[in-house]
Amino acid sequence: MDIAAEERLKGQAEIWEHMFAFVDSMALKCAVDLGIPDIINSHGRPVTMSEIIDRLKTATSSSPNVDYLTRILRILVHKRLFTSQLQQESNQTVYGLTRSSKWLLKDSKFNLSPLVLFETNPILQKPWQYLGKCVQENGTPFERAHGCEIWDLASSDPKFSNFLNDAMKCTNTTIIDEMLADYKGGFDGIESLVDVGGGTGTIIAQIVQANPHIQGINFDLPHVVATAPDFPGVKHVGGDMFVDIPEADAVIMKWTLHDWSDEDCTKILKNCYKAITNKKNGKLIIVDGVLRPDGHDLFDKQRLVFDVLMLAHTSAGKERTEAEWKMLLNNAGFPRYNIISTPTFSSIIEAFPEQRMLKQPNGTLS
C-alpha cells in the first residue's frame, strides 16, 4: 500500500471513531445504570457473567439479557473501563474493575456516576442536535431544544434541579481535596468566606471543616439552598449573585463563572468586589479551568471539551485562557491575580481588589 492510500485509510478510520464516539458514552451510561461497577466491587474480586446476572435478577426480579450485557462489557473492556480474563479451570470470563471504573462506585468518596448520568441524559443530549443551527442562525442550543435556559428549567422542575445539584456535588469532593492540599495557607487570615453559587454547600462545608476559624456562607438561589443540609459553621443564604452578594473577608466560586458571558461575569465580579472591598484581607478565589489550546497535560483536552459543552448547555458560558481571565478580572476591579495549578481539571485563581497578594511558591504571579 502506498503512502497516499495508507493516509486515506487512516483518515477513514479516524472519522469512524469520531462518528461513533457516542457509543462509548451510551455503553458507559448502561453500566452505571445497571450498577455493574458496584456489583463487581461488592464481591471484592473479579466476577463471572453469571454472578453479575444473578445480582441483576435479585435487584429487578427480571431475566437480564446475557448476550446484550456481554457485548456491552466487551466494548467497555476494550476502552479499559473494565478488565476481562478467561479462567482456564472453569473456562469462564471474569470481569474486574480498573482505575477508571473505580470512579463509578456509588459508595466511594470519589464517585462521578451522577455526572455520567447527567451528561448522558436525553435532556442534556438533545441540545447537541442544534449546534449547527445555532452557528448559522445564532440562539442557544439548550433553549432551542427545550424552550428555556438550563437555569430556568432547574428553577421550575425540582427533579431536574436535584439532578443538576447531584451532578455538580460529585465533582466537589475531588476538587476540594486537591485544593486543600495545594492551597495550604490560602485561607489564613480569613474569618468569613462566602461560596457564591455554592449549591447545597458541600465545598464550603469541607473548607470550614479543615479551617474551623472560618465562618462559612453558602450562597445560591433560594430554591437551591432550600434543599441544602445543615453543616457545622455554615450558614445558607438565598439570593441572586447578579443583584448582591453577602459581605465576607473572601469570596470563593467553583465552576460558576464558566457558565456565563463576559458581560454577566463582570456583573458578578463587581458584586464580589463590593462584598470584599472593605475587608482588610479581602480577596476572591476562583476555582475554574484555565484553557490552554496547545497544552498537553492530563486535562487539557477535557477543558476544550468543556468549552464546547458550555455552548450546548448554557446561554453564553465558556472556558477561558489566562489572557481572558486577566481581562475579565481587570475590567471588574481586580488588577492583580495569581494562578495556582492543581493536578485536577481546575486551577485556583486568587484575585485582589488592591495591591495585595499571597506568596505561593507554586503559583504564577501576574
Catalytic residues: 258
Nearest 10 degrees: Cα torsion 269, 270, 273, 275: -100
**Nearest CA to 40 among 31, 285, 229?**
31
Longest pairwise C-alpha distance within the chain = 73
β-sheet bridge partners, residue 72: none
CA distances from 73 to 68, 82, 156 (A): 9, 8, 38
Secondary structure of residue 198 in the 3-state scheme: coil
Helix H or strand E encompassing 192:
strand 192-196
**Nearest CA to 285 among 358, 206, 208, 199?**
358
Look up cell 457545622; give the residue.
232
Name residues whose C-beta falls within 8 Å of residue 90's C-beta, 6 or more positions apart in sequence: 48
CA distances from 279 to 189, 206, 217, 284, 336 (A): 11, 23, 16, 12, 16
